[in-house]
Every structure is written in structure tokens, then in C-alpha cells.
Chains A and B, each alone.
Chain A
């Protein structure tokens, strides 16, 4: 349906924005630490999809040397950095949740 509105060109950015909104909803409504981390992890690909989609040019090829009509490679390369940070931070968040739960359990036992 989105493609019929935008003619295919803005599919990725618009899908990205929809994902961001879904993630925000999760973050505002969910009452569970893991679910909140997952909500953040829905926002993140939303941003990546949005940013990468901005570099898309209809009919263009991959940005490799002999090609002349190519898509903008910068958004994709920048998003690589964001994805790496995101993976590391998610693992840290989950580790933190384990620690928080341990403290809660210890407190209940006391």
C-alpha cells in the first residue's frame, strides 16, 4: 500500500518511520525490561532503514568501481557504524538486566 502512495521510491524511509513509531509505542506501554530493550531494538532498524533508504536512487546500481550510475553509498556505510554500536549496547543492556534481577532476587531473599 505504501508503494502505491510513494511510487516505490520512499518505501524504505517510510517503513523506517513506521518502525520507529512502533518502537516508541512499545517503550511507552510495555512494563518489562526485556520488552523495553526489544522496543529500542525496533526503533534501531527503523532508523537504519530510513537512513539507508535515503541514499536510494531508482534504477541505480551498486556503488562498485566500473558502474557510473550508482546509489549513494554514504548512508549505508554510516549505518554500519550505528548497527555495530547497537549490537554492543543491546548486549550490555541485557547483561545489566541480569544484574538487576540478581539484586532483586537477593533483596527478596533477605
Chain B
């Protein structure tokens, strides 16, 4: 029964691509698209009472078949996907309706087909327990996402898509390379069987670290985040919401599978360093952005750092809960800037304003507090669980994360709250604004359902963030422009790919050397200090 979760959207994706060759009314195409998006819901609801479920597709044995299942961890990934996709689908229809023309040479129907493919492959990667099956779903999801980015009409979308493609291919090949080592060393591709047959020697450690670097690249975590900000900000708004909300979660689920079935304790320290640097790098870059979508994209880099932090403290439940929270509020935020960008015709924060629309003001306030981890909104749930695992200075670092995120979002709300000339009267785009408001309400209701507590510290965070914002505003620091190292042309793109490949190789090499000589290094350091 569970494989239908994947099969139905894939079937509708196929149908959707077939009917593009038949001359029929637009309404039928949209119906097929919506049916495809809704098709996995009955399957999920039917199975929801009998969790946890574990089956092997086609009734094969575990060794030769593909095992799938739903349990307390991937339940949250599936729930996020099944909530966000239908909402974004309705938004997409309304968005395309308003834009009117067919964009960028890519037909609307092809976009529907790609969104359905993305949907099916994400659901597939979230239910599978098979290493190679997971790899394939990850590839399909990434390819669908890359083509969706490239199909946007925005200037620079094609360059962003190409950069995304090269980085994705590079990390994919390295991931498959590590899958090869794991298969040879254990003899299995099924995760539970890999876990039972695994001997943690140096080769295995190297394989696991290569796999993690590849997954970190795909999840857009600093220092391997390069493809993310441009791809997420140049895509069509509904696609940005799907990319930032859900597509980057597929590699995270891969990390969770590794964490669950293989001993990755030896990677704790490097992963924690990477996660904290990603969190603060993302916030730092976001604060100085003037492009609304790029600001949100850099917050994805920072928030994925928090998810990686949960993985580095070896808490799969905290990671799953934070992923669920992030999928909700980040897709809500991206969808929220959509109506503003299309009515003002720019992404520049200085020219955008939500002042005319009461529902957008409320939605943005709620979603901004949610991303800052303020209780009782949904962001507080996962963050609280991560906090209980941390000790000492790391607790304060996570507090600083909340303050930084709130600071950046206070700036966003401050700019959007100012009324701007020749703008938007707040009358049309009812469906889009309604969906954003619904997502904001969901962040409150899930927050109260899962974590019904109020934390007085949150008021301090908000106060400090607002104080910092006024200091930064008064000192004009926020007007600093982040320097660009590469041009926005083909030459710049090729140089970027050269540089990014080098960084990818360096991160891989450093991690492998650490894994291989980490103990010797530690002894050396201790001998020098003592």
C-alpha cells in the first residue's frame, strides 16, 4: 500500500506529460495536476492509524527487495510534503493564471509535470530504506528542481540552473562512489542490513564522510552552499517555496538514515563545526541582502545548519521535527513575498511593502517569529529539543542564532512595513494571501499541539534583536553591500564552477584526513598543550 504514495504522483506526472500533446481545454490539464497532487493523501490517511509500517516492495526478501516504511521519523517529512505541496499547487494555479502568458519557452504543462515528478520523488526518498533507491529518488528530485529553476524567466535563472546542475552532478557521483564502498564492505544496500553487517574501519569511515560531504552539498549547507542562494531566488515563487521548503530536505533524510543505521559518532565534531559556521554565515549574508528572495534563500543556508546541528548531536527526532517546522515557515515566507514581488515588479526590499494588506502583515509577523524559534510557534519545538542535547557555550551559540535570525527578520519586516509609492492596493491576489495566512495559522496550531509552552527567554531575544536592529540602522552598517567576486556572465559562471569544485575537493580531503589521522592529531595537540 505505501509504495502507492510514490506511484500515484509519478503516474499523474506521466499523464500530465502525455496530455500536453492533446489539444484539450486548460481546465483538464489543471485537473490532472491537482488530482496528482491530491492522490497520495488518501493512501497516507488510510495508513496513518497503523503506524509504524514496514514492507518490502513486491513481497521480496529484504536482501534483494526494496524496503519501505513509515515511522515516527519520516512521518514528519511526509506530513510536511503532504501539507506544503497541495497548498503550493493551488498557489501555482492562481500564480500562473495571473501571469497569463506562457513563460520562458517552457510550457505550463511541463512545469506541472516537473512539479509532480518532484513530489513523487521526494515522497519516495522519504519512505525508502534502501541506499541505492534513495540515491535514485534524490537524483530525480534534483533534476526536476534544476529544470524548474532553469525554466524561470528571471534574468540569470539559466546560469543559476547550470551552476546547480554541475554541483549536483559532482556531489551525486561522489555519493555513488561512497555507496560503492559501502556495498562492497557490507554486501547489502538495505539500510538495516548495512547497519547489522558494518565494521567501522578506516575505509568505511572514509566512505561515510564522502557520503556526508555529498549530502551536505545537496542540502546547501556552508561551505558547500554556492548553488543555493541564486537557484532559490531566481526560480518562480511557488518553485522557490518547494525548493527551500522541501527539496533540500531529501539529502537531510539521507543523513538521518545514515545516523540511524550506521555509527557516525566519529563525525560529530566536524559536523558540529560545519553546522555552526553555516548558521552564522547564513545569518550574516542574509542581514546584508537587499533582495527579498535572496534574503530568504540565505536563511535556508542558516536553517539547514540548525538541522545539521541536530544531526551532529545524534538526535534524529529533533532533526525531523525541525525539518517539519522549517518546511512550513520557509515555504510560507517565500509564498508571502510572491504577491508583493508580482505587484511591485521588483525584488528589492527598498521598493516592496505589505502595508496595504492586513493579512500579509499578520502572516509575516507569525512566520518571522516562527523562524526565530519563538514559543509556542512550531520552530520552538525542534529548537528546544536540540537545546536539551547541547552543553556549555554551544547553548549560547544557539541563543545567538535565534537573535541573529530575529534581527534579520526584523529588518525584513521593518522595510516591508514602510508604505511605498506606486504600489499595491492590497485588493487582489486573495487566494495567494489566503494560502500564506493558512500556513501561518498552521505554524501556530502545530506549535501549540506539539510544544504547548511559553518560554520567557523569547521576549529577551526579541528585545535584543530589535535593539541590535536600531543600532545597526543608526550606524548605517546595514547599507554595506556584500562584494561580488564573480561577474554575472558566462565567464563568471565558469570561474565559479572552478572555484566551487576546488572547495568541494578540499572539504572532502580535509574530512578524510581528519578521519584518517584525527586520533594522531588529537594526541599531538594534547602532547603540545600538556
Which residues of A are interface residues toward B (Cβ below 8 A)?
A: 20, 24, 27-33, 36, 40, 43-44, 46-47, 50-51, 54, 74-75, 78, 81-82, 85, 88-89, 92-93, 96-97, 99-101, 103-104
Contacts and interface: CB of A to CB of B under 8 A. Distances in A.
Given A20-B177, A36-B494, A104-B489, A97 B162 contact: yes
A31 B486 CA distance: 13
A43 to B, nearest CB: 5
Contact of B490 (A40, A44, A75, A100): A100
A43 B170 contact: yes
Given A47-B177, A74-B183, A85-B139, A28 B162 contact: no
Nearest to B159: A100
B132 interface: yes
Interface stretch (B91-99, B363-371, B498-506, B517-525): B498-506
Contacts of A101: 490
Given A54-B180, A78-B132, A81-B136, A33 B162 contact: yes
Interface in B169-187: 169-170, 173, 176-177, 179-180, 183-184
Nearest to A32: B494
B489 A27 contact: no
A67 B492 CA distance: 56
B249 interface: no
Interface string B126-150: 0000001000100100010011001
Q: Would you call the interface of chain B mostly helix, strand, loop, or mixed?
A: helix
A96 B494 contact: no
B169 A89 contact: yes
B161 interface: yes
B394 interface: no
Nearest to B161: A96
A96 B495 CA distance: 17
A88 B184 contact: no
Given A28-B502, A33-B490, A43 B173 contact: yes
13 contacts: A28-B501, A30-B494, A33-B493, A36-B494, A44-B173, A47-B177, A50-B177, A82-B176, A89-B169, A92-B147, A96-B162, A103-B158, A104-B490
A104 B490 CA distance: 8
B162 A100 contact: yes
B462 to A, nearest CB: 44
B497 interface: yes
B147 A36 contact: no
Given A20-B177, A24-B505, A81-B136, A31 B162 contact: no
A78 B180 CA distance: 10
Given A27-B497, A30-B494, A54 B184 contact: yes
Contacts of A99: 150, 158
A100 B158 contact: yes
A51 to B, nearest CB: 4
User: Which of B132, B161, B489, B501 has the most chain A CB within a 10 Å cutoff?
Assistant: B501
A44 B170 CA distance: 9
A96 B170 CA distance: 17
A12 B490 CA distance: 36
Interface string B92-135: 00000000000000000000000000000000000000001000
A53 B123 CA distance: 32
Nearest to B177: A47
